[in-house]
Amino acid sequence: MLKKITIFIFILFMAGAVAGLATAVGVYFYFARDLPRITSLRDYRPATITEIYADNGELIGQYYLEKRKIIPIEEIPDLLKKAFIASEDARFYEHQGLDFPGIMRALMKNIAAGKVVQGGSTITQQVTKSLLLSPERKLKRKIKEAILAYRIEKYLSKDEILFLYLNQIYLGHGAYGVEIASRTYFGKKTRDLNLAEMTLLAGLPKAPNRYSPIAHPDRAARRQRYVLGRMVAEGYITEAEAEAAAATPIHINTPPDPFTLTPYFTEHVRRYLEKKYGYDKLYRQGLQVYTSVN
């Protein structure tokens, strides 16, 4: 009798497993139809800034749809990459697009809190959401996002994915990507950032407006300490380095608006460029224009 029960339970288990697998395969092929082509990611050309300079090299004008300046992954400081990875996706170099342990941790924390306090999206999923899918919050989009994230991991290297993420991400006050965010908040290039500034930037993706160091410096400082703690936990920095960075004063140094320097001349140049090259090239292709004005 016991043997028959055991066999029956085993058959039920196998039937459930087969049914579950068949369902998963069916869901995959159903949602995999008509997905965006991930090959477009290798030809990443987002809208970038057209900059106009005086004859002495001073910036006197900017035109753009999205305020962004592309920076190669090799030029992004290693600690800045690690700061974003520690705070946004600690298992970035281990998972294949989906972090199942991270999803479960986020689910348990959200259940315990009775609200959404932590997301489970990986950096790869965020790239997928930003570049390939609409922002709708529906289950079918999440399934498509998961499928695409897995495909992207098979198609691109981790550095290529990180390059897309760090150049595409919105970091508040009109700044897209880490290079423009660095200039917007600190008036310097990413290569010149210290650890305190890097971790402040890395705290912004979760809520750029809420953690803005310009509008909410106290919240930004708390978020920065969280990022420093995550970097210590991941072994990227020591406790002493984290404490030193937390104690480092942050000087917000937003550059002045270049349009106030030569507004009429700059507008004349803008009209000339749009007439000669067209709207798309002027506002999307990041021209570098040097003039004779002084």
pLDDT at 27: 46
For residues 63 and 293, give the distance between their C-alpha atoms in angstroms, rounded to a whole number: 18
Residue keyed to tokens 């999206």 = 121
pLDDT at 25: 44
Reported as a single tens digit per residue, the pLDDT across 133-186 is 977 767 788 889 999 999 999 999 999 999 999 999 999 999 999 999 999 999
- Dig out the tokens for 123 from the structure: 């950096």
| Encoded amino acid at 175, one letter | A
pLDDT at 253: 85
What Å distances lie between residue 276 and 53, 140, 280, CA to CA?
A: 18, 44, 11
Reported as a single tens digit per residue, the pLDDT across 203-255 is 999 999 999 999 999 999 999 999 999 999 999 999 999 999 999 999 998 77
Q: 3-state class of 220 per DSSP?
A: helix
**Contact in structure between 182 and 189 (CB atoms under 8 Å):** yes
Q: Where are the domains positioned within the chain?
A: 2-33, 77-261
What Å distances lie between residue 203 and 90, 110, 175, 196, 281, CA to CA?
A: 14, 20, 14, 11, 33
For residues 234 and 82, give the distance between their C-alpha atoms in angstroms, rounded to a whole number: 9
Judged by average pLDDT, the poorest of 63-77, 127-141, 269-283 is: 127-141
- Dig out the tokens for 155 from the structure: 């198609």
The residues pairing with 68 across neighbouring beta strands, listed in sequence order, are 176
What homologous superfamily is domain 77-261 in, according to CATH? Biosynthetic peptidoglycan transglycosylase-like (1.10.3810.10)
Confidence of residue 107 (pLDDT cuts 50, 70, 90): low
| Encoded amino acid at 201, one letter | L
The strand pair at 67-68 and 59-63 is best described as unpaired
Element (DSSP H or E) covering residue 68: strand 67-68
Reported as a single tens digit per residue, the pLDDT across 263-273 is 889 999 999 99
The average confidence (pLDDT) of the chain is 87
Residue keyed to tokens 């106030």 = 260
**Cα distance between the two ends of the chain:** 98
pTM: 0.84
Reported as a single tens digit per residue, the pLDDT across 22-56 is 444 454 444 555 788 999 999 999 999 999 999 99
DSSP line for 125-191: HHHHHHHTS-----HHHHHHHHHHHHHHHHHS-HHHHHHHHHHH-B-STTEESHHHHHHHHHSS-GG
Closest CA to 83 of 265, 287, 223: 223
**Contact in structure between 272 and 63 (CB atoms under 8 Å):** no
